[in-house]
Amino acid sequence: MGLLIGALTLGFIFSLVALGVFISFRIFAFPDITADGSSTLGAALAAMLLVKNVNPAIATAVAFFGGFLVGALTGTLATRFKINGLLAGILVMTGLYSVNLHIMGRSNISVLGSSTLSTYADRAAIAVTHNSSLSVLGWEITSLEASLLVASFAFIVLVSFVVYVFFQTNLGTAMRATGDNHEMIRALGVNDENMIILGLAVSNGLIALAGAFIAQYQGFADVQMGIGMVVWGLASVIIGEALVGTRQLGLSITGAVMGSVLFRLLVAIALRLGPTQIRLVVSGRSRVKLDACTRKELRSSERVTRSCAVRTSCSWLSIRRRRSCCCATSVSRRTASCSRSSSSLRRYQNAEMMAARNSSTDSSGPSVA
């Protein structure tokens, strides 16, 4: 039970990474790989401030704004300096390795002796339940595990709702339109470069926030803890799209969260089977989800193709029917005209014959003696 609860808690925390990758890759179609560095930056900033006895909420907020600035830097390099988006992310991610080392002062830093959001959640759970352990379906779990699960779930629900509401506003709609068609949104008078910079800033801010939470959950920050964050986020987004079956905004956000939780549960199952099986199980599960998504897209394209073929055949049939109707109408009209002409001719001929007969009768009448 402890492994399951821990997997769910980490899945909800990593949902922030999935949301950040969803914003950059799905909304803006921007290949941003700054996530590997921004997540470590958030963890490093939070850990450094927590060691100095800074309030955990303030340390977490600083981590978010640190990722926000890093994302804005990537967007500035890609838009203002016309650097390829992928290369801009690589440059920023590479530079952040040295920055993170400079912030922490060494390769890793521990926060076990400091007050964190985890300790706050544990104190709140003990104050509510008046017990350090709970029984769930016959399984004994600690108040810390239960409080972290509830707190992470409530927080990700709040963040998902805020992201959804934000992208329904005028600014969020302009950002979504920039990702769909930047030429159109530029023609409407919106600065698409500013939209890209803001979108990448929000994306990396969420990813750095996830890094801060992971550092407080695990009790340490490491300079290499962000490796593979982009892959994690992409896998969560793809699995979520395969689950919900649509790219509508609200369902896509929900699918990203569901994909992150499912992916983490998969990792937990692999760990349960044995550490040597984790790579194989994770890759196999991702393969199955990708195949399911591909089959769904192929079925959708086949339905569209069949629909287009049916519409085309119906159009040709209707055209041919209209042509045949026009020809039949024309023939009937011509036939009626010819019949009217022949009847007029017959009446004219009959009138001439009657006039000739009358004239002959008058000329051959009896003579007067």
The CA distance from 97 to 91, in Å, is 10
**pLDDT in tens for each of the 369 residues of the chain?**
677 888 999 999 999 999 999 999 999 999 999 999 999 999 999 999 999 999 999 999 999 999 999 999 999 999 999 999 999 999 999 999 999 999 999 999 999 889 999 999 988 888 888 777 777 777 778 888 889 999 999 999 999 999 999 999 999 999 999 999 988 999 989 999 999 999 999 999 999 999 999 999 999 999 999 998 999 899 999 999 888 988 899 999 999 999 999 988 888 887 777 666 555 655 655 555 555 555 555 555 555 445 444 443 444 434 444 444 444 444 445 444 445 545 554 655 566 666 666 655 554 444 333
Closest CA to 119 of 62, 63, 50: 50
pLDDT at 304: 45
pLDDT at 144: 85
The CA distance from 214 to 111, in Å, is 11
Dump the DSSP string for 301-353: HHHHHHHHHHHHHHHHHHHHHHHHHHHHHHHHHHHHHHHHHHHHHHHHHHHHH
pLDDT at 234: 92
Residue 35's SS3 state is helix
Residue 80's SS3 state is coil
Instruction: Return the domain boundaries, the chain.
Output: 2-273
pLDDT at 98: 95
pLDDT at 283: 60
- Residue 196, C-beta contacts closer than 8 angstroms, at least 6 positions apart: 28, 30, 75, 78, 79, 178
Q: Note whether 272 and 253 are within 8 A (CB).
A: no
The topology (CATH level 3) of 2-273 is ABC transporter involved in vitamin B12 uptake, BtuC (1.10.3470)
The CA distance from 227 to 231, in Å, is 9
CA distances from 18 to 34, 39, 207, 299, 321 (A): 14, 12, 8, 27, 55
**How many CA atoms within 13 Å lie on the side-chain side of 348?**
6
**Token pair 């011509």 is at which residue?**
334
Quote the DSSP letter at residue 367: P
The CA distance from 218 to 214, in Å, is 6
Q: Note whether 4 and 212 are within 8 A (CB).
A: no
- Residue 71, C-beta contacts closer than 8 angstroms, at least 6 positions apart: 32, 34, 38, 200, 201, 202, 203, 204, 205
Q: Is the pTM of this model over 0.85?
A: no
pLDDT at 125: 85
Strands 139-142 and 133-136: antiparallel
